[in-house]
Amino acid sequence: MAVPEQVPMRLDWSEVESYPSSHINQLLAQIGPPSSNGVPDGVYLAMGSVAPPIILGSEDQRIERITELTGGILKVAVHARIHVSREVLGDIISVLQQTAEQYDAAALALASEPKPQERV
């Protein structure tokens, strides 16, 4: 019997539930450095979040705080940093596109349903 080049197997994603979810509102994508043949070494992705600065107080205090913040830097809390091949990047794009379409279809279906107060 010849040894197959690929062996079909299933993936077990059951551990995913043991990891916390992180809110992400910032994304950085960067092409990797060129390999020896000049082709970029995949793509680097970083995901994080930035909370808006808190601006409280009287109008004068808020204006002062805004002036302090203007031109400043908000530090991104990084939650994930990964490296993927171009092929896997295509897979990620495809999965995200499908998920966005499913989300939009669910939101559209919900929006077209009568609201509880509109039902007769």
DSSP string, the chain: -PPPS--------GGGGGSPP----EEEEEEPPB-TTS-B--EEEEEEE-PPPP--SSHHHHHHHHHHHTT--PPPEEEEEEEE-HHHHHHHHHHHHHHHHHHHHHHHHHHHSPPGGG--
Sheet (strand 43-49) strand order = 26-31, 43-49, 77-84
Q: Confidence band (pLDDT; 50, 70, 90) for 120? A: low
pLDDT of residue 118: 61
Three-state secondary structure along 27-40?
EEEEECCECCCCCE
Asked whether the predicted pLDDT for residue 114 surpasses 60, the reply is: yes
Q: Tens of pLDDT along 25-79?
A: 999 999 999 999 999 999 999 999 999 999 999 999 999 999 999 999 999 999 9
| Global confidence as pTM | 0.74
| Amino acid identity for residue 97 in this structure | Q
Question: For the chain, what are the domain ranges?
Answer: 21-113
What percent of the chain is modeled with pLDDT above 90? 81
